[in-house]
Each structure stands twice: as C-alpha cells, then as structure tokens.
C-alpha cells in the first residue's frame, strides 16, 4: 500500500483483510494546516472522527501516496488524501434505471430520487455509474451531476469524444434545463433570483452553499404553475449551473423546497440524518423522505448529429403523491410548462 491505485473508487482486495473501496479526498484551501483526522471527518460527513482515527492508525490512509499513521498530521496545500474503507457488504445495487433516449453515443436516463450519480465514501453500488458499468453495450459516463435526492433527466455519453463534447456543452451553457419543485409558501409571479453563490463559511455542513457578495454569478428563473394552501408548484430555469443552485436560491427567496434537509433547515437536521438516517422525528420535521425537486426536461445539441435533442422525464410517483398531500392537484405526470420555457427548451436564447 505504498502508492494509491490509478482510479478513484476502485475496489481492491487486501489479503487477509477483505475488499476495500478507494476514496480520494483533495486538500482544499480550507483544509491547509488542519489535522488529518479533523479535516477528513469534516469532508466525509458519514464518518465520525473516531472512525477516521482508527483508519489512520490501521494504515488505511495515505497522503500523496505515503501511509500516515498520526491523526495529528498537519495538511499542506495541494496534497491528496487516499482512504481505504471496507466495501459495504449488504448494499443493494441499482439494476434498472429507465432509459429515456439513446442514440449515437448519447444516453439520457430518468434518475430516481435517492440514487447518487457517482460513488461516495458510503455508497458504491447504489449509483448511476455502477448501473452504467454493468449495462451491456458501450461504456457510458455521466456528462453532469444531479444531487442524490433529485430525480429526472441525466445525460450520459460514450467515454471519449462524445463525452468530452457534452461536458464542454454543459460548461458553456449550451444545455437548457428545466426543473419542477414543490416549495413552501405561495408564489404568485415569475421570480428572477440573481444572487452569487459560494460555500457557506459559517455552516457545519461542508457542502452547504450560500448567497455571498463575492460568490460566483448565479441566475435562476422561477415560474409558478399551481398552488396548494401553503405550497407552490414551480418550474425553474437555470441560466447558470452552480452546486445546489435551485435549492439555495429558493431558500434565499423565502420559498425553500419541501423535504430539503440542508436548505430551509438548521444544520442539525442534516447532521442528524447523517448520523441516524431518516427517523420519525426528522420525517415529521421534513414531511417527506427526499427533497421535492425533479429535472423534468433537458435539451442539448447532439455531439454527432449536431441536432438539438429535447428529452422529458415523467414526474415520479413520490413527487405526485407529495403534491397531492400538499393540496396541489397533479392529474398527469406532465403538468405542462409555460410557452416561454418550451421556447427555451427548443433552443431559444431568452433575453429576460
């Protein structure tokens, strides 16, 4: 174990010890000067500090390819940490994700809520990449991300030229995306949220984003579609693609998404979920097991045919059930979008 393996999140066998998942963790600027055990317990929220310390003392943590056995080791800028954690023994695997579109090296999936896109420190087989790697045919890779609890359209491409072209399209804002969300409160008019985003510096949750004056430019348009007594069904159009953008912008506007464990809630809610999973108390607090956000439609220029492709994902049953519970009557898995958003999906560059 003198050097880490070439790929992140491989499974390796260590003689006499069993199967281990390899997890790479970069040392970000926020970690410079911190103790190794402290930084890892902050980055890997499902790992307690005591568990991290045991892994370090058992030679299961490397820094820049060298085993470190002192939890008090101080980190430096630019280093890379590699952990070897025991592979989950009873984790179920994703065997069926609906395919919405497949043509000439491009695949669009309807990702279920609760399935992660890439492996994490605690999930390996319940991931989109696991499904893709075990699917017959060409090797595909996701071209972008969706949060674990977000359902809906996920574009994948054959590894190589097609994947590179699609990732460039996402980075260049050539991809048009529309989401549906069930939000708290009644929103009556179209809302434009133009508020820069950055990591929240005052949160115990390492991935939490916040509106900050020096953050990255971020723009979201919110269109109300239907209402319940204390709820609005909205469609969201993204002009930018920041981490958690819709969720944090809606919280900033005073309309957090129903079921969100991070936004619209104190940090303790998410931290309790990490430690204990979904408890009865959390379910009463959140009302739903996942946040009610669904990527309902996406359009992009196909990297081979150069034609614009529009793909829609039906609203999943748990979202429709949540809407009815909140008094929003959805009679179809396609609630219909305003003409302006249909134009946007067709490729129009909206000026507003």
Q: How far is CA 59 from the centre of its chain?
A: 31
Is the Cβ–Cβ distance between 200 and 208 less than 8 Å?
A: yes
Q: Hey, what are 188's tokens?
A: 């009556």
| Greatest C-alpha distance within the chain | 63
Dihedral angle, C-alpha 119, 262, 334, 331, nearest 10 °:
130
Angle at CA 239, nearest 5°, toward 233 and 244? 65
Is the Cβ–Cβ distance between 282 and 266 less than 8 Å?
A: no
Q: Hey, what are 35's tokens?
A: 């103790």
Read off the DSSP letter of residue 257. Answer: B
Total residue count of the chain as it appears in this document: 352
Is the Cβ–Cβ distance between 324 and 214 less than 8 Å?
A: no
Taking the C-alpha atoms of residue 280 and residue 285, their distance in angstroms, rounded to an integer, is: 9
Is the Cβ–Cβ distance between 255 and 227 less than 8 Å?
A: no
Cross-strand pairs, 221: 192, 237
Is the Cβ–Cβ distance between 307 and 299 less than 8 Å?
A: no
Question: Which string of b and e fits 246-273 if b means at least 16 CB within 10 Å?
Answer: bbbbbbbbebbbbbbbbbbbeeebbebb
Taking the C-alpha atoms of residue 322 and residue 317, their distance in angstroms, rounded to an integer, is: 9
Q: For this structure, is 147 an active site residue? A: yes
Q: Environment class of residue 291 by beta-carbon count within 10 Å: exposed (0-12), middle (13-18) or buried (19+)?
A: buried
Out of 37, 147, 260, 318, which one is annotated catalytic? 147
Active-site annotation, residues: 147
């Amino acid at each position: 174990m003198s050097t880490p393996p070439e790929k992140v999140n491989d499974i390796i066998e260590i003689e006499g010890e069993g199967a281990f998942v390899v997890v790479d963790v970069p040392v970000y600027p926020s970690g410079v000067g911190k103790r190794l055990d402290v930084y890892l317990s902050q980055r890997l929220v499902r790992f307690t500090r005591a568990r991290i310390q045991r892994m370090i003392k058992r030679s299961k943590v490397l820094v820049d390819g060298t085993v470190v056995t002192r939890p008090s080791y101080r980190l430096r800028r630019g280093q890379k940490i590699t952990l070897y954690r025991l592979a989950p023994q009873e984790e179920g695997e994703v065997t069926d994700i609906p395919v919405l579109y497949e043509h000439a090296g491009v695949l669009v999936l309807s990702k279920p809520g609760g399935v992660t896109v890439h492996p994490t420190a605690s999930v390996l087989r319940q991931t989109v990449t696991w499904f893709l790697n075990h699917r017959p045919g060409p090797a595909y890779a996701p071209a972008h991300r969706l949060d674990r609890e977000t359902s809906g359209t996920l574009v994948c491409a054959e590894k190589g030229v097609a994947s590179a072209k699609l990732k460039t399209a996402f980075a260049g804002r050539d991809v048009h995306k529309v989401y549906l969300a069930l939000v708290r409160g009644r929103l009556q008019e179209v809302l434009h949220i133009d508020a820069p985003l950055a990591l929240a510096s005052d949160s115990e949750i390492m991935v939490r984003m916040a509106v900050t004056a020096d953050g990255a430019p971020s723009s979201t348009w919110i269109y109300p579609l239907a209402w319940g007594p204390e709820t609005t069904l909205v469609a969201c159009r993204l002009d930018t693609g920041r981490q958690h953008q819709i969720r944090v912008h809606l919280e900033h506007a005073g309309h957090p998404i129903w079921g969100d464990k991070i936004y619209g809630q104190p940090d303790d809610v998410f931290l309790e979920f990490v430690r204990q999973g979904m408890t009865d108390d959390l379910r009463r607090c959140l009302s739903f097991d996942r946040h009610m956000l669904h990527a309902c439609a996406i359009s992009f220029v196909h990297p081979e045919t150069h034609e614009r492709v529009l793909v829609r994902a039906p609203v999943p049953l748990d979202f429709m059930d949540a809407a009815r519970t909140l008094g929003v009557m959805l009679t179809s898995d396609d609630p219909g979008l305003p003409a302006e958003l249909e134009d946007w999906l067709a490729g129009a560059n909206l000026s507003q």
